[in-house]
A and B are shown apart, each in its own frame.
Chain A
Amino acid sequence: MSREKKWEPMRYAFYDFRGLEVRFTAMAARGWMVESVSAWGIRYRRTVPRQGRFAVTYVPEASDFDARPTEGQELLEDYCAQAGWRTAVRWGQMQVFFNPDPHAVPLETDPVAQVEAIHRAMRRSALPSQASMAVLGLAELGFLGWMLQSDPVGTLAATGFLLLGGWLPMALMAAANLAFYFWWLPRAKRAAAEGRPLPGMTLRGVNEALLALETVMILLWAAYATAQSRLFLVAGAAVAAVIALLTAGAKRGLKRLQAPRWAVRGGTAAASLLAYAALLAAVVALVLSRSASLGEHTLVEEYTAYGMTWEAYADPIPLRVGDLLGEETPEAYSTEARVQSSPLVRETEYRQDRRLDWEGDLPELTYTVVDVRAPFLYGLCKTGMLEKWERYQSDDLPEEYRERYLLQSGAPAGTDALYRRYTGSDPDNCFLFCWENRLAEVRFYWDPTPEQLAAAADRLAPA
Protein backbone atom coordinates (compact mmCIF):
# COMPACT_ATOMS: atom_id res chain seq x y z
CA MET A 1 0.00 0.00 0.00
CA SER A 2 1.49 3.30 -1.02
CA ARG A 3 2.03 6.05 1.48
CA GLU A 4 -0.58 8.77 1.77
CA LYS A 5 1.67 11.29 3.55
CA LYS A 6 5.22 12.41 3.03
CA TRP A 7 7.42 14.53 5.27
CA GLU A 8 10.73 16.22 4.63
CA PRO A 9 12.92 18.29 6.94
CA MET A 10 12.86 22.06 6.48
CA ARG A 11 15.86 22.96 4.33
CA TYR A 12 14.59 26.35 3.20
CA ALA A 13 15.01 29.70 4.85
CA PHE A 14 11.77 31.34 5.98
CA TYR A 15 12.19 34.05 3.35
CA ASP A 16 13.19 31.69 0.51
CA PHE A 17 9.86 32.11 -1.26
CA ARG A 18 11.21 31.11 -4.64
CA GLY A 19 12.86 27.92 -3.40
CA LEU A 20 9.62 26.93 -1.68
CA GLU A 21 7.51 27.74 -4.74
CA VAL A 22 9.74 25.61 -6.98
CA ARG A 23 9.68 22.73 -4.47
CA PHE A 24 5.90 22.79 -3.98
CA THR A 25 5.31 22.97 -7.74
CA ALA A 26 7.64 20.02 -8.40
CA MET A 27 6.08 17.94 -5.62
CA ALA A 28 2.53 18.67 -6.85
CA ALA A 29 3.54 17.57 -10.34
CA ARG A 30 4.68 14.27 -8.79
CA GLY A 31 1.38 13.84 -6.92
CA TRP A 32 2.26 15.37 -3.53
CA MET A 33 0.31 18.44 -2.42
CA VAL A 34 1.80 20.49 0.40
CA GLU A 35 -0.33 20.11 3.53
CA SER A 36 1.58 21.88 6.29
CA VAL A 37 4.79 23.80 6.81
CA SER A 38 6.64 24.32 10.07
CA ALA A 39 10.12 25.14 11.31
CA TRP A 40 10.81 21.40 11.48
CA GLY A 41 9.61 20.30 8.09
CA ILE A 42 7.08 20.14 5.28
CA ARG A 43 4.28 17.59 5.11
CA TYR A 44 2.62 16.54 1.84
CA ARG A 45 -0.47 14.47 1.12
CA ARG A 46 -0.92 12.11 -1.79
CA THR A 47 -2.98 13.53 -4.63
CA VAL A 48 -3.25 13.15 -8.37
CA PRO A 49 -0.34 14.82 -10.13
CA ARG A 50 -1.24 18.51 -10.39
CA GLN A 51 0.08 21.04 -12.86
CA GLY A 52 -0.10 24.67 -11.86
CA ARG A 53 1.81 27.26 -9.90
CA PHE A 54 2.51 27.91 -6.26
CA ALA A 55 3.14 31.36 -4.84
CA VAL A 56 4.48 32.21 -1.39
CA THR A 57 3.78 35.56 0.16
CA TYR A 58 3.92 37.04 3.65
CA VAL A 59 1.40 38.84 5.84
CA PRO A 60 3.51 40.74 8.39
CA GLU A 61 0.80 41.16 11.03
CA ALA A 62 -0.18 37.45 11.07
CA SER A 63 1.11 35.07 13.70
CA ASP A 64 1.40 31.35 14.22
CA PHE A 65 -0.53 31.89 17.47
CA ASP A 66 -3.66 33.17 15.71
CA ALA A 67 -6.71 30.94 16.23
CA ARG A 68 -8.14 32.00 12.89
CA PRO A 69 -6.93 34.01 9.91
CA THR A 70 -6.55 37.72 10.59
CA GLU A 71 -8.69 40.23 8.70
CA GLY A 72 -5.66 40.95 6.57
CA GLN A 73 -5.24 37.29 5.68
CA GLU A 74 -8.92 36.99 4.78
CA LEU A 75 -8.68 40.09 2.64
CA LEU A 76 -5.62 38.71 0.86
CA GLU A 77 -7.37 35.39 0.33
CA ASP A 78 -10.38 37.16 -1.15
CA TYR A 79 -8.19 39.07 -3.63
CA CYS A 80 -6.33 35.86 -4.45
CA ALA A 81 -9.54 33.89 -4.95
CA GLN A 82 -10.67 36.48 -7.48
CA ALA A 83 -7.50 35.83 -9.48
CA GLY A 84 -7.84 32.05 -9.19
CA TRP A 85 -5.36 31.53 -6.36
CA ARG A 86 -6.50 29.19 -3.57
CA THR A 87 -4.90 28.95 -0.14
CA ALA A 88 -2.73 25.85 0.10
CA VAL A 89 -1.07 26.39 3.48
CA ARG A 90 -0.78 29.08 6.15
CA TRP A 91 2.17 29.10 8.51
CA GLY A 92 2.26 32.17 10.70
CA GLN A 93 3.10 35.04 8.41
CA MET A 94 3.79 32.77 5.44
CA GLN A 95 0.87 32.21 3.04
CA VAL A 96 1.12 29.62 0.30
CA PHE A 97 -1.29 29.78 -2.64
CA PHE A 98 -1.92 27.39 -5.51
CA ASN A 99 -3.33 28.19 -8.92
CA PRO A 100 -4.06 25.36 -11.39
CA ASP A 101 -3.68 27.81 -14.28
CA PRO A 102 0.00 28.04 -15.17
CA HIS A 103 -0.68 31.32 -17.02
CA ALA A 104 -2.55 33.04 -14.19
CA VAL A 105 -1.66 36.59 -13.19
CA PRO A 106 1.28 36.23 -10.77
CA LEU A 107 0.53 36.83 -7.12
CA GLU A 108 3.27 39.41 -6.86
CA THR A 109 3.64 41.88 -9.71
CA ASP A 110 5.56 44.67 -7.96
CA PRO A 111 8.99 43.66 -6.62
CA VAL A 112 9.18 46.87 -4.53
CA ALA A 113 6.03 45.96 -2.60
CA GLN A 114 7.17 42.33 -2.41
CA VAL A 115 10.56 43.03 -0.85
CA GLU A 116 8.95 45.48 1.59
CA ALA A 117 6.44 42.82 2.72
CA ILE A 118 9.16 40.20 3.09
CA HIS A 119 11.29 42.54 5.18
CA ARG A 120 8.40 43.58 7.43
CA ALA A 121 7.55 39.93 8.06
CA MET A 122 11.19 39.07 8.72
CA ARG A 123 11.59 41.93 11.18
CA ARG A 124 8.62 40.76 13.22
CA SER A 125 9.47 37.10 13.66
CA ALA A 126 12.23 35.32 11.74
CA LEU A 127 14.99 37.87 12.31
CA PRO A 128 14.68 37.97 16.12
CA SER A 129 14.45 34.18 16.42
CA GLN A 130 17.35 33.53 14.04
CA ALA A 131 19.46 36.20 15.70
CA SER A 132 18.79 34.58 19.11
CA MET A 133 19.77 31.19 17.72
CA ALA A 134 22.95 32.60 16.16
CA VAL A 135 23.90 34.38 19.42
CA LEU A 136 23.24 31.17 21.34
CA GLY A 137 25.49 29.34 18.89
CA LEU A 138 28.27 31.88 19.30
CA ALA A 139 27.95 31.57 23.07
CA GLU A 140 28.18 27.76 22.73
CA LEU A 141 31.24 28.16 20.53
CA GLY A 142 32.83 30.49 23.10
CA PHE A 143 32.05 28.05 25.91
CA LEU A 144 33.52 25.17 23.90
CA GLY A 145 36.65 27.24 23.24
CA TRP A 146 36.97 28.07 26.92
CA MET A 147 36.56 24.40 27.86
CA LEU A 148 39.17 23.35 25.30
CA GLN A 149 41.57 25.93 26.63
CA SER A 150 41.04 25.11 30.30
CA ASP A 151 40.84 21.30 30.06
CA PRO A 152 41.61 20.05 26.54
CA VAL A 153 41.87 16.36 27.44
CA GLY A 154 38.71 16.24 29.53
CA THR A 155 36.80 18.22 26.93
CA LEU A 156 37.97 16.26 23.90
CA ALA A 157 37.45 12.90 25.60
CA ALA A 158 33.98 13.76 26.88
CA THR A 159 31.41 12.65 24.36
CA GLY A 160 29.28 15.47 25.67
CA PHE A 161 31.32 17.94 23.65
CA LEU A 162 30.01 16.30 20.49
CA LEU A 163 26.51 17.00 21.73
CA LEU A 164 27.49 20.53 22.64
CA GLY A 165 29.05 20.79 19.21
CA GLY A 166 25.81 19.40 17.84
CA TRP A 167 24.26 22.77 18.55
CA LEU A 168 26.73 24.43 16.28
CA PRO A 169 25.30 23.28 12.93
CA MET A 170 21.88 24.56 14.01
CA ALA A 171 23.36 27.86 15.14
CA LEU A 172 25.47 28.06 12.00
CA MET A 173 22.33 27.48 9.96
CA ALA A 174 20.62 30.38 11.70
CA ALA A 175 23.71 32.57 11.29
CA ALA A 176 24.08 31.62 7.61
CA ASN A 177 20.41 32.32 6.91
CA LEU A 178 20.67 35.63 8.72
CA ALA A 179 23.89 36.69 7.00
CA PHE A 180 22.57 35.61 3.63
CA TYR A 181 19.35 37.57 4.19
CA PHE A 182 21.25 40.79 4.91
CA TRP A 183 23.41 40.14 1.84
CA TRP A 184 20.30 39.50 -0.24
CA LEU A 185 18.19 42.41 1.03
CA PRO A 186 20.11 45.35 -0.55
CA ARG A 187 20.46 43.41 -3.80
CA ALA A 188 16.73 42.71 -3.77
CA LYS A 189 15.92 46.36 -3.08
CA ARG A 190 18.21 47.46 -5.89
CA ALA A 191 16.66 44.95 -8.31
CA ALA A 192 13.17 46.04 -7.26
CA ALA A 193 14.01 49.72 -7.73
CA GLU A 194 15.20 48.90 -11.23
CA GLY A 195 12.00 46.97 -11.94
CA ARG A 196 13.74 43.59 -12.12
CA PRO A 197 12.44 40.43 -10.40
CA LEU A 198 13.89 39.78 -6.95
CA PRO A 199 17.14 37.78 -7.09
CA GLY A 200 17.18 34.17 -5.90
CA MET A 201 18.22 33.49 -2.35
CA THR A 202 18.07 29.79 -1.73
CA LEU A 203 20.40 28.37 0.89
CA ARG A 204 19.12 24.84 0.48
CA GLY A 205 22.58 23.36 -0.20
CA VAL A 206 24.13 24.99 2.86
CA ASN A 207 21.20 23.97 5.06
CA GLU A 208 21.38 20.39 3.77
CA ALA A 209 25.13 20.24 4.49
CA LEU A 210 24.61 21.55 8.01
CA LEU A 211 21.76 19.09 8.64
CA ALA A 212 24.05 16.26 7.46
CA LEU A 213 26.81 17.51 9.78
CA GLU A 214 24.34 17.57 12.66
CA THR A 215 23.34 13.96 11.93
CA VAL A 216 26.98 12.84 11.76
CA MET A 217 27.77 14.50 15.10
CA ILE A 218 24.84 12.80 16.80
CA LEU A 219 25.76 9.42 15.29
CA LEU A 220 29.39 9.83 16.37
CA TRP A 221 28.24 10.75 19.83
CA ALA A 222 25.95 7.72 19.98
CA ALA A 223 28.76 5.43 18.77
CA TYR A 224 31.22 6.54 21.44
CA ALA A 225 28.94 7.37 24.34
CA THR A 226 28.82 5.21 27.44
CA ALA A 227 25.63 3.35 28.33
CA GLN A 228 24.80 6.03 30.88
CA SER A 229 25.33 8.84 28.38
CA ARG A 230 23.16 7.01 25.85
CA LEU A 231 20.43 6.77 28.45
CA PHE A 232 20.71 10.54 28.88
CA LEU A 233 20.48 11.02 25.12
CA VAL A 234 17.44 8.77 24.76
CA ALA A 235 15.82 10.37 27.81
CA GLY A 236 16.65 13.85 26.52
CA ALA A 237 15.27 13.07 23.07
CA ALA A 238 12.13 11.60 24.63
CA VAL A 239 11.68 14.68 26.81
CA ALA A 240 12.16 16.98 23.82
CA ALA A 241 9.65 14.97 21.77
CA VAL A 242 7.06 14.92 24.55
CA ILE A 243 7.52 18.64 25.23
CA ALA A 244 7.14 19.37 21.52
CA LEU A 245 3.99 17.24 21.35
CA LEU A 246 2.46 18.74 24.50
CA THR A 247 3.31 22.27 23.37
CA ALA A 248 1.85 21.67 19.93
CA GLY A 249 -1.22 20.07 21.54
CA ALA A 250 -1.73 23.02 23.88
CA LYS A 251 -1.41 25.45 21.00
CA ARG A 252 -3.82 23.47 18.84
CA GLY A 253 -6.31 23.17 21.72
CA LEU A 254 -6.24 26.88 22.52
CA LYS A 255 -6.65 27.71 18.85
CA ARG A 256 -9.64 25.37 18.67
CA LEU A 257 -11.14 27.30 21.59
CA GLN A 258 -10.71 30.46 19.51
CA ALA A 259 -8.53 32.00 22.21
CA PRO A 260 -6.98 35.39 21.37
CA ARG A 261 -3.38 35.54 20.19
CA TRP A 262 -1.93 36.60 23.56
CA ALA A 263 -3.72 33.72 25.30
CA VAL A 264 -2.51 31.16 22.76
CA ARG A 265 1.03 32.49 23.02
CA GLY A 266 0.99 32.60 26.83
CA GLY A 267 -0.77 29.24 27.18
CA THR A 268 1.66 27.57 24.80
CA ALA A 269 4.65 28.98 26.68
CA ALA A 270 3.20 27.94 30.03
CA ALA A 271 2.42 24.41 28.78
CA SER A 272 5.94 24.12 27.42
CA LEU A 273 7.54 25.24 30.70
CA LEU A 274 5.32 23.00 32.82
CA ALA A 275 5.93 19.98 30.60
CA TYR A 276 9.65 20.69 30.63
CA ALA A 277 9.82 20.95 34.43
CA ALA A 278 7.69 17.85 35.05
CA LEU A 279 9.43 15.65 32.51
CA LEU A 280 12.90 16.79 33.48
CA ALA A 281 12.19 15.90 37.10
CA ALA A 282 10.85 12.49 36.04
CA VAL A 283 13.85 11.76 33.82
CA VAL A 284 16.39 12.88 36.42
CA ALA A 285 14.69 10.64 38.99
CA LEU A 286 14.72 7.72 36.53
CA VAL A 287 18.35 8.22 35.57
CA LEU A 288 19.48 8.61 39.16
CA SER A 289 17.61 5.50 40.19
CA ARG A 290 19.18 3.46 37.40
CA SER A 291 22.62 5.04 37.23
CA ALA A 292 24.24 2.57 39.60
CA SER A 293 23.25 -0.39 37.46
CA LEU A 294 24.47 1.36 34.34
CA GLY A 295 27.96 2.04 35.62
CA GLU A 296 31.01 0.55 33.90
CA HIS A 297 32.34 -0.82 37.18
CA THR A 298 32.34 -4.26 38.67
CA LEU A 299 30.97 -3.78 42.15
CA VAL A 300 32.44 -6.38 44.47
CA GLU A 301 30.69 -5.45 47.66
CA GLU A 302 29.46 -2.68 49.89
CA TYR A 303 31.12 -2.45 53.27
CA THR A 304 30.94 -0.28 56.37
CA ALA A 305 33.81 1.72 57.80
CA TYR A 306 33.88 4.75 60.07
CA GLY A 307 30.11 4.57 60.34
CA MET A 308 29.55 4.96 56.58
CA THR A 309 28.87 2.62 53.68
CA TRP A 310 31.55 2.34 50.99
CA GLU A 311 31.76 0.50 47.70
CA ALA A 312 34.62 -1.76 46.63
CA TYR A 313 35.28 -2.42 42.94
CA ALA A 314 37.35 -4.91 41.03
CA ASP A 315 37.87 -3.30 37.63
CA PRO A 316 40.84 -4.70 35.69
CA ILE A 317 43.68 -2.15 35.62
CA PRO A 318 46.92 -2.34 33.59
CA LEU A 319 49.31 -1.36 36.38
CA ARG A 320 49.04 -2.49 40.00
CA VAL A 321 50.99 -1.75 43.14
CA GLY A 322 52.16 -5.35 43.07
CA ASP A 323 53.70 -4.90 39.61
CA LEU A 324 56.02 -2.26 41.07
CA LEU A 325 56.60 -3.40 44.64
CA GLY A 326 56.67 -7.12 43.92
CA GLU A 327 53.86 -8.04 46.31
CA GLU A 328 50.42 -6.85 47.35
CA THR A 329 47.31 -8.06 49.11
CA PRO A 330 44.62 -7.93 46.39
CA GLU A 331 41.71 -8.27 48.82
CA ALA A 332 42.87 -5.12 50.59
CA TYR A 333 42.23 -2.96 47.52
CA SER A 334 39.43 -1.54 45.45
CA THR A 335 40.36 -0.96 41.80
CA GLU A 336 38.44 1.34 39.46
CA ALA A 337 38.71 2.24 35.80
CA ARG A 338 36.63 5.15 34.48
CA VAL A 339 36.63 5.67 30.74
CA GLN A 340 35.71 8.74 28.73
CA SER A 341 36.00 8.21 25.03
CA SER A 342 35.30 10.20 21.90
CA PRO A 343 36.48 9.79 18.30
CA LEU A 344 39.32 12.18 19.15
CA VAL A 345 40.60 11.22 22.58
CA ARG A 346 40.19 8.34 25.02
CA GLU A 347 40.89 9.13 28.66
CA THR A 348 40.92 6.42 31.32
CA GLU A 349 41.37 7.14 35.00
CA TYR A 350 42.62 4.19 37.07
CA ARG A 351 42.81 3.95 40.84
CA GLN A 352 44.00 1.30 43.21
CA ASP A 353 42.80 2.39 46.66
CA ARG A 354 43.17 0.71 50.02
CA ARG A 355 39.81 -0.42 51.36
CA LEU A 356 38.88 1.66 54.36
CA ASP A 357 38.00 -1.43 56.38
CA TRP A 358 41.56 -2.77 55.96
CA GLU A 359 43.83 -2.18 58.92
CA GLY A 360 47.31 -0.84 58.36
CA ASP A 361 49.09 1.39 55.88
CA LEU A 362 49.23 0.23 52.25
CA PRO A 363 50.68 1.95 49.16
CA GLU A 364 48.18 3.19 46.60
CA LEU A 365 48.33 4.15 42.94
CA THR A 366 46.38 6.61 40.79
CA TYR A 367 46.99 7.20 37.09
CA THR A 368 45.38 8.58 33.95
CA VAL A 369 46.09 7.22 30.48
CA VAL A 370 45.24 9.43 27.53
CA ASP A 371 45.20 8.05 23.99
CA VAL A 372 45.14 10.80 21.39
CA ARG A 373 43.34 9.31 18.40
CA ALA A 374 43.65 12.44 16.28
CA PRO A 375 47.43 13.07 16.02
CA PHE A 376 47.00 16.81 15.39
CA LEU A 377 45.57 17.14 18.90
CA TYR A 378 48.57 15.54 20.62
CA GLY A 379 50.36 18.84 21.27
CA LEU A 380 47.21 20.43 22.68
CA CYS A 381 46.60 17.46 24.99
CA LYS A 382 50.23 17.30 26.16
CA THR A 383 50.33 21.03 26.88
CA GLY A 384 47.01 20.72 28.69
CA MET A 385 48.36 17.96 30.94
CA LEU A 386 51.68 19.70 31.54
CA GLU A 387 50.05 22.98 32.48
CA LYS A 388 47.12 21.54 34.38
CA TRP A 389 48.69 22.11 37.79
CA GLU A 390 49.73 25.67 37.02
CA ARG A 391 46.44 26.73 35.50
CA TYR A 392 44.45 27.26 38.64
CA GLN A 393 47.23 28.68 40.79
CA SER A 394 46.78 32.23 41.92
CA ASP A 395 49.37 34.75 40.80
CA ASP A 396 49.89 35.59 44.48
CA LEU A 397 50.87 32.02 45.40
CA PRO A 398 54.38 32.00 46.86
CA GLU A 399 57.00 30.32 44.69
CA GLU A 400 57.59 27.50 47.18
CA TYR A 401 53.97 26.35 46.82
CA ARG A 402 53.79 26.51 43.03
CA GLU A 403 53.29 23.19 41.26
CA ARG A 404 54.75 22.58 37.81
CA TYR A 405 56.04 19.79 35.59
CA LEU A 406 59.76 19.71 34.71
CA LEU A 407 61.38 17.55 32.02
CA GLN A 408 63.55 14.76 33.46
CA SER A 409 66.69 13.31 31.95
CA GLY A 410 66.95 9.55 31.56
CA ALA A 411 63.38 8.83 30.45
CA PRO A 412 62.53 5.10 30.59
CA ALA A 413 63.25 3.10 27.46
CA GLY A 414 60.46 3.27 24.90
CA THR A 415 59.08 6.61 26.11
CA ASP A 416 59.59 9.89 24.29
CA ALA A 417 59.85 12.00 27.42
CA LEU A 418 59.34 11.91 31.17
CA TYR A 419 58.20 14.85 33.29
CA ARG A 420 58.05 15.13 37.08
CA ARG A 421 55.88 17.44 39.09
CA TYR A 422 57.54 19.82 41.55
CA THR A 423 56.12 21.95 44.31
CA GLY A 424 58.49 24.87 44.41
CA SER A 425 61.84 23.10 44.14
CA ASP A 426 60.69 19.92 45.91
CA PRO A 427 59.96 16.91 43.66
CA ASP A 428 56.56 15.22 44.03
CA ASN A 429 55.75 11.62 43.21
CA CYS A 430 53.66 12.53 40.19
CA PHE A 431 55.08 11.74 36.72
CA LEU A 432 53.97 12.27 33.15
CA PHE A 433 55.10 9.61 30.65
CA CYS A 434 54.92 10.56 26.97
CA TRP A 435 54.72 8.30 23.92
CA GLU A 436 53.86 9.10 20.32
CA ASN A 437 50.08 9.06 20.77
CA ARG A 438 49.73 8.32 24.47
CA LEU A 439 50.24 10.28 27.66
CA ALA A 440 50.11 8.75 31.13
CA GLU A 441 50.14 10.70 34.38
CA VAL A 442 50.99 8.44 37.33
CA ARG A 443 50.74 9.45 40.96
CA PHE A 444 52.74 7.11 43.19
CA TYR A 445 52.10 7.10 46.91
CA TRP A 446 55.82 6.53 47.52
CA ASP A 447 59.06 7.76 45.99
CA PRO A 448 59.53 5.44 42.98
CA THR A 449 62.94 4.11 41.97
CA PRO A 450 64.17 4.36 38.34
CA GLU A 451 63.43 0.64 37.98
CA GLN A 452 59.86 1.15 39.15
CA LEU A 453 59.45 4.04 36.70
CA ALA A 454 60.75 1.79 33.92
CA ALA A 455 58.34 -0.97 34.96
CA ALA A 456 55.43 1.49 35.01
CA ALA A 457 56.41 2.79 31.56
CA ASP A 458 56.62 -0.76 30.27
CA ARG A 459 53.16 -1.61 31.60
CA LEU A 460 51.49 1.57 30.34
CA ALA A 461 53.21 1.76 26.93
CA PRO A 462 50.90 1.57 23.90
CA ALA A 463 50.64 -1.89 22.38
Chain B
Amino acid sequence: MAREKFQTLTEQMFYILLSLRRELCGADIMARVEDLTGGRVTVGPGTLYHLLDQFLTAGMIAETRVEGRKRSYLITPAGQEALESEVRRLRQLTEDYARCVREEEQP
Protein backbone atom coordinates (compact mmCIF):
# COMPACT_ATOMS: atom_id res chain seq x y z
CA MET B 1 0.00 0.00 0.00
CA ALA B 2 2.70 2.43 1.03
CA ARG B 3 4.71 1.82 -2.13
CA GLU B 4 1.63 2.41 -4.19
CA LYS B 5 0.99 5.68 -2.40
CA PHE B 6 4.54 6.91 -2.88
CA GLN B 7 5.04 5.37 -6.32
CA THR B 8 6.13 8.74 -7.63
CA LEU B 9 7.62 11.28 -5.27
CA THR B 10 7.01 14.98 -5.33
CA GLU B 11 10.08 17.23 -5.06
CA GLN B 12 9.34 17.82 -1.39
CA MET B 13 9.09 14.09 -0.69
CA PHE B 14 12.23 13.39 -2.67
CA TYR B 15 14.39 15.96 -0.92
CA ILE B 16 13.11 15.16 2.56
CA LEU B 17 13.98 11.50 2.03
CA LEU B 18 17.30 12.46 0.48
CA SER B 19 18.19 14.70 3.41
CA LEU B 20 17.40 11.84 5.80
CA ARG B 21 20.15 9.66 4.41
CA ARG B 22 21.87 11.10 7.43
CA GLU B 23 20.21 11.50 10.79
CA LEU B 24 18.52 14.86 11.18
CA CYS B 25 16.00 16.38 13.54
CA GLY B 26 12.78 17.54 11.93
CA ALA B 27 13.51 21.22 12.27
CA ASP B 28 16.88 20.88 10.50
CA ILE B 29 15.35 19.19 7.48
CA MET B 30 13.95 22.46 6.12
CA ALA B 31 17.41 24.05 6.13
CA ARG B 32 19.03 20.91 4.71
CA VAL B 33 16.62 20.80 1.76
CA GLU B 34 17.34 24.44 0.99
CA ASP B 35 21.08 23.68 1.09
CA LEU B 36 20.70 20.62 -1.12
CA THR B 37 18.78 22.55 -3.75
CA GLY B 38 20.56 25.86 -3.51
CA GLY B 39 17.34 27.48 -2.33
CA ARG B 40 15.34 26.23 -5.32
CA VAL B 41 13.09 24.03 -3.15
CA THR B 42 11.71 25.14 0.18
CA VAL B 43 9.68 22.90 2.46
CA GLY B 44 6.92 24.56 4.43
CA PRO B 45 6.55 23.54 8.08
CA GLY B 46 3.08 22.10 7.53
CA THR B 47 4.27 20.03 4.61
CA LEU B 48 7.28 18.84 6.63
CA TYR B 49 5.06 17.74 9.48
CA HIS B 50 2.56 15.92 7.23
CA LEU B 51 5.25 14.18 5.16
CA LEU B 52 7.28 13.03 8.16
CA ASP B 53 4.07 11.65 9.64
CA GLN B 54 3.17 9.87 6.39
CA PHE B 55 6.72 8.52 5.88
CA LEU B 56 6.76 7.19 9.44
CA THR B 57 3.39 5.49 8.93
CA ALA B 58 4.64 3.99 5.65
CA GLY B 59 7.87 2.77 7.29
CA MET B 60 10.03 4.85 4.94
CA ILE B 61 11.77 6.68 7.79
CA ALA B 62 12.36 5.76 11.42
CA GLU B 63 12.54 7.86 14.54
CA THR B 64 16.05 7.52 15.91
CA ARG B 65 16.13 9.87 18.87
CA VAL B 66 13.66 11.83 21.03
CA GLU B 67 15.09 14.63 23.17
CA GLY B 68 12.21 16.53 24.74
CA ARG B 69 10.20 17.82 21.81
CA LYS B 70 13.11 17.32 19.43
CA ARG B 71 12.86 14.20 17.25
CA SER B 72 15.45 12.86 14.87
CA TYR B 73 14.85 10.63 11.87
CA LEU B 74 16.73 8.42 9.45
CA ILE B 75 15.72 6.88 6.16
CA THR B 76 14.87 3.14 6.23
CA PRO B 77 15.57 0.55 3.50
CA ALA B 78 11.97 1.02 2.29
CA GLY B 79 12.54 4.77 2.05
CA GLN B 80 15.86 4.24 0.30
CA GLU B 81 14.15 1.93 -2.18
CA ALA B 82 11.49 4.62 -2.84
CA LEU B 83 14.23 7.16 -3.40
CA GLU B 84 16.14 4.91 -5.80
CA SER B 85 12.97 4.00 -7.64
CA GLU B 86 12.24 7.68 -8.15
CA VAL B 87 15.80 8.26 -9.38
CA ARG B 88 15.40 5.38 -11.88
CA ARG B 89 12.12 6.89 -13.03
CA LEU B 90 13.68 10.33 -13.49
CA ARG B 91 16.68 8.81 -15.27
CA GLN B 92 14.31 6.96 -17.58
CA LEU B 93 12.58 10.25 -18.32
CA THR B 94 15.80 12.00 -19.24
CA GLU B 95 16.99 9.03 -21.32
CA ASP B 96 13.68 8.94 -23.18
CA TYR B 97 13.97 12.66 -23.80
CA ALA B 98 17.51 12.39 -25.09
CA ARG B 99 16.65 9.49 -27.39
CA CYS B 100 13.65 11.32 -28.76
CA VAL B 101 15.65 14.48 -29.48
CA ARG B 102 18.45 12.41 -31.12
CA GLU B 103 15.94 10.68 -33.38
CA GLU B 104 14.40 13.97 -34.43
CA GLU B 105 17.82 15.47 -35.21
CA GLN B 106 18.86 12.54 -37.42
CA PRO B 107 18.24 13.29 -41.11
Contacts and interface: CB of A to CB of B under 8 A. Distances in A.
B94 to A, nearest CB: 18
Nearest to B9: A112
Nearest to B57: A120
Contact of A83 (B12, B45, B51, B71): B45
Contacts of B54: 113, 116
Q: Which of A71, A112, A195 has the most CB of B within 10 A?
A: A112
Contact of B45 (A59, A80, A112, A114): A80
A75 interface: yes
Interface in A70-112: 71-72, 74-76, 78-80, 82-83, 85, 105-110, 112
Interface in B2-37: 10-13, 26-27, 30
Contacts of A75: 26, 49, 69, 71
Interface residues of B, number: 21
A79 B26 CA distance: 7
B50 A85 contact: no
A365 B41 CA distance: 88
B53 A109 contact: no
B62 interface: no
Interface in A289-308: none
B68 to A, nearest CB: 10
How many chain A residues sit at the interface, stated as a range, is 20 to 34
B27 A72 contact: no
A418 interface: no
B30 A72 contact: no
A163 to B, nearest CB: 43
A107 B45 contact: yes
B26 A108 contact: no
What secondary structure prevails in chain B residues at the interface with A? Answer: helix
A108 B51 CA distance: 11
Contacts, number: 79
Given A109-B12, A195-B10, A79 B45 contact: yes
A75 B13 CA distance: 18
Nearest to B41: A109
Contacts of A83: 30, 44-45
A202 interface: no
A280 interface: no
B47 interface: yes
A218 interface: no
A57 interface: yes
A272 to B, nearest CB: 32
Contact of B50 (A55, A71, A116): A116
Given A82-B27, A83-B30, A110-B51, A57 B46 contact: yes
A131 interface: no
Given A75-B69, A113-B54, A117-B50, A107 B26 contact: no
Nearest to A74: B69
Interface string A43-87: 000000000000101010000000000011011101110110100
Nearest to B51: A113
Given A78-B69, A79-B30, A82-B27, A107 B53 contact: no
B78 interface: no
A78 B70 CA distance: 9
Contacts of A57: 46, 49-50
26 contacts: A75-B69, A76-B45, A78-B26, A78-B27, A79-B26, A82-B27, A83-B30, A83-B44, A85-B45, A106-B44, A107-B45, A107-B46, A107-B47, A109-B42, A109-B43, A109-B44, A109-B47, A110-B44, A110-B50, A112-B10, A113-B50, A114-B46, A114-B47, A114-B50, A117-B46, A117-B50
**The 9 nearest A-B residue pairs measured at CB:** A79-B45, A109-B44, A110-B12, A107-B46, A57-B46, A113-B50, A76-B49, A80-B45, A110-B47
Interface of A: 55, 57, 59, 71-72, 74-76, 78-80, 82-83, 85, 105-110, 112-114, 116-117, 195
